[in-house]
Amino acid sequence: MAESAAAGPQDIGDVIVTDDSTMKRAVAAAAIGNVTEWYDFGVYSYLVESSVKDVFFSGAGSNASLLALGTFAVSFLVRPLGGLFFGPLGDKIGRTRVLSITVILMAAGTFLLGLVPSYAAIGIASPLLVLVIRLIQGFSTGGEYGGAMTFIAEYSADKKRGFFGSWLEFGTLTGYALGASISTILVVVLPREDLLSWGFRIPFLLALPLGLVGLYLRNKLEETPAFQQLLDQSESDEGRPALEALKLIFTKHWRAMLVAGGLIVAWNVTNYVLTAYVPTYTTGTLADAGLESVSSTTSNLLQIGVLLILMVVITFIGRISDRVGRKPILIVGSIMLVVLGLPSVLLLQSGLFGQMGGLLIMGFTLVMFSSICPSTLPSLFPTEIRYGGLSVTFNLFVSAFAGTAATVIAALVTLTGDLNWPGYYLIAAGVVGLVSCYFLVESAGKPLEGSKPAVATEEEARELIAAGRT
């Protein structure tokens, strides 16, 4: 932590003041990238069964669904490369510049997916093009989320970081719900022939305007106060070389990486089981096993309903964490995974009302992490390598353990015939989360490491200065 922050601020120059209006613009600029990313995720996930597998992967026959999900999972393999590239770059040239690049790359990738010809038209080139586009998206996404967390955390007042950080995941839920809603409407309204020929392309094409809005908002904001402070300390410093920054992350901050990585695993395994695997599980896997399944439309509507409920509560939990701390809420979420992971999956196997209950349990477990982690993870790294540390850590652990969850679980269910593998996955994620919480240092209400204390008003700044002089 900065020396001035440790000793207490002595004058106004030792405190960062960010008013709420600027903070709201910063949140909007950061969250719009999450809306764009998860809009694509929602569209792709919900159209896999109804159209994507039949248009791009029809040559795979009965394995079309597995290959469509596999193409989604493969994009996670390049996310660490994106984190390795964009993360140190964000610590070198600034948060806003890199985030402007990533948001337009993601939006352009989703737009291009809507233009890829079908397998019937160009054969094997069709799924290969989808694969290439998703790899490009994965690369750009590797620099997006760590940067967005950094951006909001560095703009936030110390006592409001949990609340404002939770809005980043509000953007996630918004994008996912938007993508799912548009996809569902098209599936319901359009005849199947029209859906497969042109209708399914509409949601992908709509991503470009979203990206342009995100680019505009991000370009309107100045650099974060914490990063500007770092620049002001040495005006001639052009930033640490990328290789040196990466070496520093892996050698000096490996403990922070492991703690953050455990929370990322618990959070994102829950996320991808709920959003990527459950739609296929409730519509196809259960039917193949002779159990009661639901239509794609019903599955979509159930998920949209859960997402809307989570959107209502997520910022309230973020605000509560500013009062009671991050650790208690993360511990509750981890315990919920261990205790309720398997029961939630068993409920999915017991008909429509059971599926509603299972989805709600998973959803409320997820929100315990998604509301808190955006404000918790940035506190584990100092300003000079925060973007790089977060991007590298986030993408390594998501790619290795979470983004592949849907594909791995689908393969395990197919190989073993055991429908409870999603529950086993959730339990394991909860255990990892509990271990990480044990080593986590509480950060609520404290300045970020390497940064001055941050407040929302000049009155709060004067109070801090008065307290620091006594």
When pLDDT is cut at 50, 70 and 90, the band that residue 260 belongs to is very high
What's the DSSP call for residue 292? -
Look at residue 300 in the predicted model and tell me its pLDDT: 79
pLDDT of 45 higher than 80: no
Look at residue 137 in the predicted model and tell me its pLDDT: 86
Residue pLDDT, tens place only, 430-444:
999 999 999 999 999
- Report CA torsion sign: 240, 241, 246, 252: negative
When pLDDT is cut at 50, 70 and 90, the band that residue 335 belongs to is very high
Look at residue 327 in the predicted model and tell me its pLDDT: 97
- For the segment 223-239, the average pLDDT, to the nearest whole number, is 67
Look at residue 5 in the predicted model and tell me its pLDDT: 44
Look at residue 452 in the predicted model and tell me its pLDDT: 82
Residue pLDDT, tens place only, 83-125:
889 988 888 888 888 888 988 888 898 899 999 998 889 999 9
Task: Choose between 241 and 425: higher pLDDT.
Answer: 425
- For the segment 379-403, the average pLDDT, to the nearest whole number, is 89
Strand partners, 16: 454
Residues 457, 22 contacting (CB under 8 angstroms): no
Write out the DSSP string of 218-279: HHTS---HHHHHHHHH-TT-----HHHHHHHHHHHSHHHHHHHHHHHHHHHHHHHIIIIIHH
pLDDT of 10 higher than 80: no
Task: Choose between 457 and 144: higher pLDDT.
Answer: 144
pLDDT of 406 higher than 60: yes
When pLDDT is cut at 50, 70 and 90, the band that residue 236 belongs to is very low
Exposure string over 265-280, b if 16+ CB within 10 A, otherwise e: bbbbbbbbbbbbbbbb
When pLDDT is cut at 50, 70 and 90, the band that residue 2 belongs to is very low
167 backbone φψ class: left, alpha, beta (φ>0; ψ -120 to 50): alpha
When pLDDT is cut at 50, 70 and 90, the band that residue 31 belongs to is confident
pLDDT of 312 higher than 90: yes
Look at residue 329 in the predicted model and tell me its pLDDT: 98
Residue pLDDT, tens place only, 271-298:
989 988 898 899 888 988 889 888 877 8
- For the segment 251-265, the average pLDDT, to the nearest whole number, is 95
pLDDT of 424 higher than 90: yes
pLDDT of 6 higher than 60: no
pLDDT of 336 higher than 50: yes
pLDDT of 319 higher than 80: yes
Residue pLDDT, tens place only, 339-358:
999 999 999 999 899 999 99
Look at residue 238 in the predicted model and tell me its pLDDT: 53
- For the segment 309-324, the average pLDDT, to the nearest whole number, is 96
Exposure string over 46-71, b if 16+ CB within 10 A, otherwise e: bbbbbbbbbbbbeebeeebbbbbbbb
pLDDT of 75 higher than 70: yes
| CA 47 vs CA 65, 219, 266, 272, 295: distances in Å | 11, 33, 26, 16, 13
Rounded Cα distance, 427 and 104, in Å:
37
Look at residue 466 in the predicted model and tell me its pLDDT: 73
- Lookup: tokens for 253: 């901050």
Look at residue 1 in the predicted model and tell me its pLDDT: 40
Q: What average pLDDT does the structure give for the chain? A: 87
- Report CA torsion sign: 360, 366, 368, 370: negative
Residues 155, 225 contacting (CB under 8 angstroms): yes
Residues 6+ apart with CB under 8 A from 79: 138, 139, 141, 142, 395, 398, 399, 403
